[in-house]
């Protein structure tokens, strides 16, 4: 039975009543494996400890490219993936001694539905073909040798990444709402990849407009995995050679089963089908109706500087479990740097105009009175919406999570879902959440560059946020976020 994005979004809103229903019990015996691999596929080594991108992270976030020549393909790919998708630390559970991995790209519940596949063509000392990245071992599985096209019309780019989603990994814990989180995670992974690429001298362009089933077939994906975004990388820092593309040879490889019993979710299957494309519908970047422009009475100051390198920031980024609270504040110049990083343009066929706008719950920002503010990026100004202490409200709207009140500043990402649907149909639902996740990743890196911590918050009372911010009907909250001074987590080992 078909479903529209509106029906899915309404059905997955959190309310007090929905959370009081029978709780979703976790079947720990059927918890999905966080790592996909292809049994029987050849494995190629990626050199350990690749060169670290030395460009300051805030400069990368502002759009400045670095340049770190790698010399040969394996080292280049190692560098790119080490700073965008690799394991960055581990965390120990004190009660059991069990250790689990943390990665460079964040994920809701650390469940990691996103997989990185990539096609190479003309990369020096690296065979043309299709590969799958294994974060657990920092290696590449060789799925196929030869020339692989990702979509009709092809691409001359030496590197094309296919970011896919295994929705069961999130649905196991979060149920029907998990599709939202999978889309956020694609946005985070997209920015993790393209910012790492920019730090070492590559340009990128993302395509969300592709025939889903065709790309899935070309990549020979398992039926539990779906393509979500194609990302082309180009640049003189990519070590190049003449392409030797010939007849495609598939190496096979059986995708591992992630759970003892295969899981599914009817609502997620229905919304995914509703947002699929059977053909390419657009060419180039689509410019949707523009967001309304506005201004505020508070002009943001020059952004605070930071010389922390991209390599260090990317590897140290963590999701804060809570913040210190108290009286310690961030400066208005730090907030200005964070907001500047969040509002730089995206390079994608659906990103001609933004769909998401930030609302801020300012708790402890120097020279900024506590209250709710709307950010107007074009004029770099803040518009005051509400006065007064917002800590209790921010926590309450985020399902009582104290990290939204203990932070120095919390955010509601508000999107015009109707405008996205007019431009892209039901597919626009994906693009809005990609954008929100992408903004979230920029907030993570900007916070880390400034010596702060951050965390994404996917759970909130949708309608209560809508009423509190007095949003028009076409606008909906799609993501919450918080930034402040993180409580140290002694369980983490780098």
Altogether, the residues listed in the chain come to a count of 494
374-428 pLDDT, tens digit each: 999 999 999 999 999 999 999 999 999 999 999 999 999 999 999 999 999 999 9
Average pLDDT of the chain is 93
Distance of alpha carbon 100 from alpha carbon 493, whole angstroms: 10
CA atoms within 13 A on the CB side of 262: 8
Nearest to 394 by CA among 372, 422, 420: 372
- What is the pLDDT, as a whole number, of residue 252? 80
The count of other CB atoms within 10 Å of the CB of residue 5 is: 20
- Ranking 27-31, 65-69, 147-151, 288-292 by mean pLDDT, the lowest is 288-292
- What is the pLDDT, as a whole number, of residue 279? 86
- What is the pLDDT, as a whole number, of residue 318? 95
| 231 φ, ψ (degrees, to nearest 5) | -130, 115
Query: Read out DSSP for 90-129?
Result: EEE-TTT--EEEEESS--GGG---EEEEEEESSBTTS-SE
- Reported for 378-381, long-range contacts at CB under 8 A and 24+ positions apart, including other chains, are 378/293, 379/293, 379/294, 379/295, 379/296, 379/299, 380/299, 380/300, 380/336, 380/339, 380/340, 381/295, 381/296, 381/297, 381/298, 381/299, 381/300
Contact 70, 51 (CB under 8 A): yes
333-371 pLDDT, tens digit each: 999 999 999 999 999 999 989 999 999 999 999 999 999
pLDDT band for 246, please (50, 70, 90 cuts).
Answer: confident
414-461 pLDDT, tens digit each: 999 999 999 999 999 999 999 999 999 999 999 999 999 999 999 999
72-85 pLDDT, tens digit each: 999 999 999 999 99
pLDDT band for 242, please (50, 70, 90 cuts).
Answer: confident
Distance of alpha carbon 114 from alpha carbon 136, whole angstroms: 14
Which domains are seen in the chain, by residue range?
5-274 (3.40.109.10), 298-493 (3.40.109.10)
Contact 133, 250 (CB under 8 A): no
- What is the pLDDT, as a whole number, of residue 153? 64
Higher pLDDT, 115 or 17: 115
Helix (H) or strand (E) holding 333: helix 332-342
- What is the pLDDT, as a whole number, of residue 94? 76
Distance of alpha carbon 493 from alpha carbon 113, whole angstroms: 23
- What is the pLDDT, as a whole number, of residue 442? 98
- What is the pLDDT, as a whole number, of residue 149? 84
Contact 100, 21 (CB under 8 A): no
- What is the pLDDT, as a whole number, of residue 355? 96
Q: Is the pLDDT of residue 205 over 60?
A: yes
Strand 298-299, strand 381-387: pairing: antiparallel
Higher pLDDT, 283 or 85: 85
Nearest to 128 by CA among 103, 107, 146, 110: 146
- What is the pLDDT, as a whole number, of residue 257? 95
- What is the pLDDT, as a whole number, of residue 316? 97
- What is the pLDDT, as a whole number, of residue 38? 96
Q: Is the pLDDT of residue 97 over 80?
A: no
b/e per residue, 276-310, with b = 16+ CB within 10 A?
bbeeeeeeebbebeebeeeebebebeebbebebbb
- What is the pLDDT, as a whole number, of residue 245? 64
Distance of alpha carbon 187 from alpha carbon 442, whole angstroms: 10
pLDDT band for 93, please (50, 70, 90 cuts).
Answer: confident
Segment 209-214 shows an average pLDDT of: 96
Contact 141, 42 (CB under 8 A): yes
Q: Is the pLDDT of residue 152 over 70?
A: no
- What is the pLDDT, as a whole number, of residue 17? 87
- What is the pLDDT, as a whole number, of residue 96? 76
128-150 pLDDT, tens digit each: 999 999 999 999 999 999 988 88
Helix (H) or strand (E) holding 79: helix 73-82
Q: Is the pLDDT of residue 284 over 60?
A: no
Segment 107-118 shows an average pLDDT of: 96
């Amino acid at each position: 039975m078909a479903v529209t994005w509106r029906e899915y979004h309404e059905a997955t809103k959190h309310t007090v009543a929905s959370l009081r229903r029978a709780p979703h019990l976790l079947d720990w015996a059927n918890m999905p494996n966080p790592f996909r691999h292809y049994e029987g596929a050849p494995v190629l080594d990626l050199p350990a400890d690749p060169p670290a991108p030395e460009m300051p992270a805030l400069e990368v976030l502002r759009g400045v490219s670095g340049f770190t020549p790698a010399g040969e393909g394996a080292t280049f790919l190692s560098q790119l993936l080490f700073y965008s998708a690799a394991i960055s630390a581990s965390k120990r559970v004190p009660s059991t001694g069990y250790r689990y991995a943390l990665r460079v790209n964040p994920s809701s519940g650390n469940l990691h539905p996103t997989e990185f596949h990539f096609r190479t063509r003309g990369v020096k000392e690296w065979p043309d073909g299709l590969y799958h990245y294994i974060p657990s071992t920092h290696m590449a599985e060789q799925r196929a040798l030869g020339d692989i096209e990702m979509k009709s019309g092809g691409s001359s780019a030496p590197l094309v990444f296919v970011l896919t989603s295994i929705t069961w990994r999130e649905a196991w814990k979060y149920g029907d709402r998990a599709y939202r989180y999978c889309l956020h995670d694609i946005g985070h992974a997209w920015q993790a990849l393209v910012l790492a690429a920019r730090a070492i001298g590559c340009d990128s362009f993302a395509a969300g407009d592709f025939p889903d089933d065709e790309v899935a077939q070309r990549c020979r994906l398992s039926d539990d995995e779906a393509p979500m975004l194609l990302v082309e990388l180009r640049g003189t820092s990519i070590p190049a050679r003449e392409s030797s593309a010939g007849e495609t040879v598939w190496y096979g490889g059986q995708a591992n089963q992630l759970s003892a019993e295969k899981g599914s979710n009817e609502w997620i299957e229905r919304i995914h089908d509703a947002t699929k494309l059977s053909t390419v519908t657009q060419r180039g970047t689509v410019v949707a109706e523009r967001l309304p422009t506005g201004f505020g009475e508070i002009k943001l100051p020059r952004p605070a500087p930071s010389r922390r390198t991209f390599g260090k920031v990317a590897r140290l980024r963590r999701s804060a479990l809570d913040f210190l609270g108290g009286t310690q504040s961030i400066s208005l110049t730090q907030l200005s740097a964070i907001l500047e990083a969040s509002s730089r343009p995206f390079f994608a066929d659906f990103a001609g105009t933004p769909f998401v706008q930030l609302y801020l719950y300012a708790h402890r920002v120097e020279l900024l009175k506590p209250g709710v503010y709307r950010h107007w990026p074009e004029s770099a100004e803040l518009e005051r919406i509400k006065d007064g202490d917002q800590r209790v409200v921010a926590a309450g709207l985020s399902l009582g999570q104290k990290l939204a009140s203990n932070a120095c500043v919390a955010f509601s990402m508000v999107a015009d879902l109707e405008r996205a649907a007019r431009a892209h149909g039901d597919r626009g639902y994906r693009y809005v959440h990609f954008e929100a996740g992408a903004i979230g990743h920029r907030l993570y890196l900007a916070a880390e560059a400034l010596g702060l911590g951050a965390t994404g918050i996917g759970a909130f009372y949708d309608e209560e946020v809508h009423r509190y911010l007095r949003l028009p009907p076409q606008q909906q909250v799609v993501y919450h976020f918080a930034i402040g001074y993180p409580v140290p987590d002694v369980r983490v080992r780098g």
